[in-house]
Amino acid sequence: MIKVAPSILAADFTKLGEDIESVKSADYLHFDVMDGSFVPNISFGVPVLESVRKITDMILDVHLMIDTPIRYVQKFADAGADIITFHIEAEKEEYIQKTINEINKYGKKAGISLRPDTPVQKIIPFLDSLDLILVMTVEPGYGGQKFLDEMLPKISELRSIINIRKPDCDLEVDGGINIETARICVEAGANVLVAGEDIFHSADRAAHIKELRGH
Ligand code: DX5
Ligand code: ZN
């Protein structure tokens, strides 16, 4: 089954509650945390997640675009994250498994994300303990960018590896996803589609989520 994860980075923050309500038929709610260091932009963090947790039962899919994420695992877990995904490039090699263990320690699902220029091989040693792999299909930092077609072989390669080693691991794509790019990502093997502008700028969000899912 294909899952859709609206990214609230594209929501109207003056009416975030209403915007979340409008996408509640989706599978996950994607929450982009940016620190102005790992990525140039700053978005939102723990207090906003706490508020979001109070108003929705949706699965909160937290995407940490922050340096040394191990420092913040407990804070985001306590704030109500269900899935915590961090960037492999943002953590020292010797802390990567520790970060996954820390996420699991708080009963949360763990994901690792790869920037567009990070090779698949980097993730292999950690695959067995992951619930989700997030392939960035744009350079992380901003919504509304153009999908990078050259990520498709990476998605296919990861799908083959996941099917053999960890079939229940989600393969999520993020950046520039719309009806057309969603279709080619699903064909390549993705099963979770993050979409920000494409969903929040659509006239009928619930219908659009269905269309992205393919039914
Ligand atoms: C980008 C973020 C994305 C972003 C996607 O760094 O990780 O989740 O919200 O936005 P769209 O779907 O508008 O490209
Ligand atoms: Zn994201």
Q: Please determine, for residue 215, whether its predicted confidence score (pLDDT) is greater than 80.
A: no
CB of 37 within 8 A of CB of 20?
A: no
Task: Give the C-alpha separation, 4 to 125, whole Å.
Answer: 27
Residue 108, φ and ψ in degrees, nearest 5: -105, 155
Q: Which residues have a catalytic role annotated?
A: 32, 174
Question: Which ligand is in closest contact with the Cα of 137?
Answer: 1
Beta bridge partners of 33: 64
What is the whole-number distance in angstroms between the Cα of residue 85 and the centre of ligand 1? 14
Q: Give, using CA atoms, the residue closest to atom 6 of ligand 1.
A: 140
What is the whole-number distance in angstroms between the Cα of residue 6 and the centre of ligand 1? 9
Judged on CB neighbours under 10 Å (0-12, 13-18, 19+), 137 is: buried
Question: Which ligand is in closest contact with the Cα of 181?
Answer: 1
pLDDT one-digit tens code per residue, 143-183: 999 999 999 999 999 999 999 999 999 999 999 999 999 99
pLDDT one-digit tens code per residue, 2-37: 999 999 999 999 999 999 999 999 999 999 999 999
Mutate to test the pocket of ligand 1, among 4, 7, 180 (most ligand atoms within 8 A of CB): 7
pLDDT one-digit tens code per residue, 73-117: 999 999 999 999 999 999 999 999 999 999 999 999 999 999 999
Task: Give the C-alpha separation, 60 to 56, whole Å.
Answer: 9
Q: Give, using CA atoms, the residue closest to atom 9 of ligand 1.
A: 143
Pocket lining for ligand 1, CB < 6 angstroms: 7, 9-10, 30, 32, 63, 138, 140-145, 174-177, 194-198
* 199-to-57, 154, 176, 213 alpha-carbon distances in Å: 19, 25, 11, 12
pLDDT one-digit tens code per residue, 55-69: 999 999 999 999 999
What is the whole-number distance in angstroms between the Cα of residue 197 and the centre of ligand 1? 8
Q: What does the block give as tokens for 73?
A: 């695992």
Beta bridge partners of 3: 192
